Amino acid sequence: MPVSAKSAAARPRVGLFVTCLVDLFRPSVGFAAVRLLEQAGCEVDVPARQTCCGQPAYNSGDRASARALARQTVAAFEAHDYVVAPSGSCAGMLRLHYPELLASDPAWRERAAAFAGKVHELVSFLVDVRGLAAVAARLPARATYHDSCSGLRELGVRDQPRKLLRTVEGLELVELADADVCCGFGGTFSVKYPDISNAIVERKTEQVAASKADLLLAGDLGCLMNMAGKLSRQGRRIAVRHVAEVLAGELADPPIGEGRP
């Protein structure tokens, strides 16, 4: 719940849920998120007592660990007006699954529900809540966009990234065939059943190549690392970035999986 409705509207206090993958592997996505949120008139805070949303435990059947991480996360973000994550799957976990995980705990039920109401995926937050209609970025490239499953199906993230990408100067956006079909990451699935995961990501990279794009974008770093890793192993020269990097013009670092020459 906003600390004060008036101040929330004016300059809301957004807690950035960094996500473990962004924190550990690709901080530039986090900085891109901060830049975009500030452009949208938000004050951004990054609580230190955040680590993982608990999805690996939750999806492996370890509800106890998932609950512990849920409590930790809820507690870390109670002072914020919004909680924004540059990831559909983490935002989905926080928004849809935390309330269910903590529903039977009388001490946490209300807090989890209140918390969940504040959670948003980054790009949908910018467009749907902050009313952002365009970005000031520039990138001459032909890009295509993959819809990460959780963002799409749990949170309805589909039109918002495309809308903003179309305002990036010089960027040609081509549609990806079967953009809404899974890339085969599925978190621990990719290492539990690697051969099946590989078959799925191979289909995906065929379609990425067929789109003739030279840049692949999505809103979830797990999906992106999966697809980038496959494209790289296939020797395909298609750059892969998080959509936030392009929208924020945060392009100083090489694309995912590419080295510094």
- The residues binding other proteins (CB under 8 A) are 18, 20, 22-28, 30-31, 46, 48-52, 54, 56-63, 65, 68-69, 72, 149-150, 153-154, 180-182, 184-201, 203, 225-226, 228-230, 232-233, 253-254, 256-260
Closest distance between other proteins and the C-beta of residue 131, in Å?
A: 27
In the complex, the smallest distance separating the C-beta of residue 189 from other proteins, rounded to whole angstroms, is: 5
Tell me, letter by letter, the H, E, C secondary structure of the chain: CCCCHHHHHHCCEEEECCCHHHHHHCHHHHHHHHHHHHHCCCEEECCCCCCCCCHHHHHCCCHHHHHHHHHHHHHHCCCCCEEEECCHHHHHHHHHHHHHHCCCCCCCHHHHHHHHHCEEEHHHHHHHHCCCCCCCCEEEEEEEECCCHHHHHHHCCCHHHHHHHCCCEEEEEECCCCCCCCCCCCCCHHHHCHHHHHHHHHHHHHHHHHCCCCEEEECCHHHHHHHHHHHHHCCCCCEEEEHHHHHHCCCCCCCCCCCCC
Please identify, using beta-carbon distances, which residue of 8 and 46 lies nearer to other proteins: 46
Q: Which is nearer to other proteins, 6 or 195 (CB)?
A: 195
* Shortest CB 196 distance to other proteins, Å: 5
Residue number with CB closer to other proteins (1 or 156):
156
Instruction: Tell me whether residue 124 or residue 150 sits nearer to other proteins (CB atom).
Output: 150
Distance in Å, CB of 66 to other proteins, minimum = 8
In the bound state with other proteins, the residue whose beta carbon lies nearer, of 4 and 60, is 60
